[in-house]
């Protein structure tokens, strides 16, 4: 943020990505543990998911689903189909709860961020980077626990002639390490880009003369609708790639 | 799913060059490992894009009767 005046800071389209501490907590061992709006947005995301499912369960589940119950069933079956397809029916049961948690948490955080005035934690590379790195380390642990040293053969694609192995191994290492980076950057970039577009259009609506300012404002409404679709699509892509990566580690080709 | 392709290519290329650069500063062989790493990165990106494309084709054929 190069601007020095207070007014210019508020019209910057990137202004709402800044993290501000709301409840300051003194540093413990050099780590800043203050409650920022990102932390609060994360809590809201957790509360939305937890509240929705607790509401459904507390009403009692029946063989003939109520409206809310069928929403939950559709969502859970959607996740279960993904897990079944990419990890496998038997193996997938172990990872279903993790994959479901990832999906619902990211979806809730994306959607919470679309409420004007709230905060999108998935627009921070740190947050998505931690998700993706955690998933990457998890696949490594799963792979080594399941296959032992044989897991290293993931670096050699099947059917490669012996001469090509010294060439293929660095290529596979690069594409392996690129996975968590592309996973995190994709979610972060999509959310950041969408919210920046919204902020720019809002800026136009605020500064344009009255007779035309309805046009950018109308666009913000349309883009907001598009952003809801993107929130779902990005949560879906993140989850499906999580399944693919876990499935690769489990099945090993 | 198609917008996975671009980022796959870019990240792999960048990562290959960055790893080559890191190895360069480690072994003091500037700039050769970076050049080699860049080529490996491009190859890895191409491979990644090929795999994603294959996957898309595969799932499209799979779900033809349900979706389209």
Predicted complex ipTM: 0.79
- The full DSSP string for chain A is ----SHHHHHH-TTGGG---EEE----BTTB---EEHHHHHHHHHHHHHHHHHHHHHHT---SS--HHHHHHHHHHHHHHHHHHHHT-HHHHHHHHHHHHHHHHHHHHHHHHHTSTTS--GGGSHHHHHHHHHHHHHHHHHHHHHHHGGGGGGGGS-TT--GGGHHHHHHHHHHHHHHHHHHHHHHHHHHHHHHHHHHHHHHHHHHHS-TTTTHHHHHHHHHHHHHHHHHHHHHHHHHHHHHHHHHHHHHH--
Q: Is A182 on the interface with B (CB under 8 A)?
A: yes
Q: Is residue A42 part of a domain?
A: yes
The per-type count for chain B, helices as H runs and strands as E runs, is 3, 0
A chain contacts of residue B4, beta-carbon cutoff 8 Å: 182, 186, 237
Model's pTM, two decimal places?
Answer: 0.84
Query: In the structure, what pLDDT confidence band is assigned to residue B65 with cuts at 50, 70 and 90?
Result: very low
Tell me whether residue A6 is in a domain: no
Average pLDDT over residues A113-130: 89
Domain that holds residue A161: 13-23+32-251
Chain B residues close to A177, C-beta within 8 Å: 15, 19
**Quick check: is A206 in a domain?**
yes
pLDDT digits (tens, 9 = 90+) for A225-242: 999 999 999 999 999 999
Domain assignment present for residue A5? The answer is no
- For residue A166, give the chain B residue with the closest CA: B40
**B47 in any annotated domain:** yes
pLDDT one-digit tens code per residue, A187-204: 999 999 999 998 888 888
Query: What's the structural domain count of chain A?
Result: 1
Q: Which residues of A touch B41 (CB under 8 A)?
A: 174
The answer to whether the Cβ–Cβ distance between A237 and B4 falls below 8 Å is yes
Q: Shortest CB distance from A175 goes to which of B1, B7, B44?
A: B44
Range of the domain at B44: 4-60
Most distant CA pair in chain A, distance = 71
Residues of B near A (Cβ–Cβ under 8 Å) read 1, 4, 7-8, 11-12, 15-16, 19, 40-41, 43-45, 47-48
Residue A4 lies in a domain: no
Output the average pLDDT for chain A.
86
When scoring B44, B54, B66 by the number of chain A Cβ atoms within 10 A, the one with the most, hence best to mutate, is B44
Nearest to A45 by CA among A132, A125, A123, A97: A123
Q: Give the total number of structural domains in chain B.
A: 1
Taking every pair of C-alpha atoms in chain B, what is the biggest distance, in angstroms? Answer: 58
Residue A194: closest CA among A153, A145, A234, A155 = A234
Indicate the residue of A175, A186, A237 with minimum beta-carbon distance to B12. A175
């Amino acid at each position: 943020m190069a601007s020095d005046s207070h007014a210019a800071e508020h019209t910057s389209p990137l202004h709402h990505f800044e993290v501000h501490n709301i409840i300051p907590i003194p540093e413990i061992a050099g780590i800043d543990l203050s409650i920022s709006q990102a932390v609060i947005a994360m809590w809201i995301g957790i509360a939305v998911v937890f509240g929705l499912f607790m509401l459904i369960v507390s009403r009692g589940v029946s063989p003939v689903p109520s409206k809310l119950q069928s929403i939950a069933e559709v969502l859970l079956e959607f996740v279960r189909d993904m897990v079944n397809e990419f990890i496998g029916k038997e193996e997938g049961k172990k990872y279903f709860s993790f994959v479901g948690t990832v999906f619902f948490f990211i979806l809730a955080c994306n959607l919470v961020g679309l409420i004007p005035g709230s905060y999108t934690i998935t627009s921070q590379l740190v947050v998505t980077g931690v998700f993706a790195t955690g998933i990457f380390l998890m696949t490594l642990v799963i792979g080594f626990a399941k296959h032992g040293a044989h897991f290293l053969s993931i670096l050699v694609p099947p059917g490669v002639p012996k001469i090509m192995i010294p060439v293929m191994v660095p290529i596979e290492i690069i594409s392996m390490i690129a996975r968590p980076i592309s996973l995190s950057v994709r979610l972060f970039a999509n959310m950041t880009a969408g919210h920046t577009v919204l902020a720019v259009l809002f800026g136009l609506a605020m500064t344009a003369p009255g007779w035309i300012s309805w046009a950018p404002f109308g666009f913000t409404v349309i883009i907001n609708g598009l952003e809801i679709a993107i929130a779902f699509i990005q949560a879906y892509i993140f989850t499906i790639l999580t399944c693919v990566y876990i499935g690769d580690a489990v099945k090993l080709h | 799913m198609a917008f996975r392709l671009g980022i796959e290519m870019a990240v792999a290329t960048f990562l290959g060059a960055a790893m080559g650069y890191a190895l360069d500063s480690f072994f003091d062989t500037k700039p050769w490992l970076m050049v080699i790493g860049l080529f490996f990165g491009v190859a890895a990106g191409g491979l990644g894009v090929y795999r994603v494309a294959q996957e898309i084709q595969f799932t499209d054929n799979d779900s033809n009767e349900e979706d389209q």
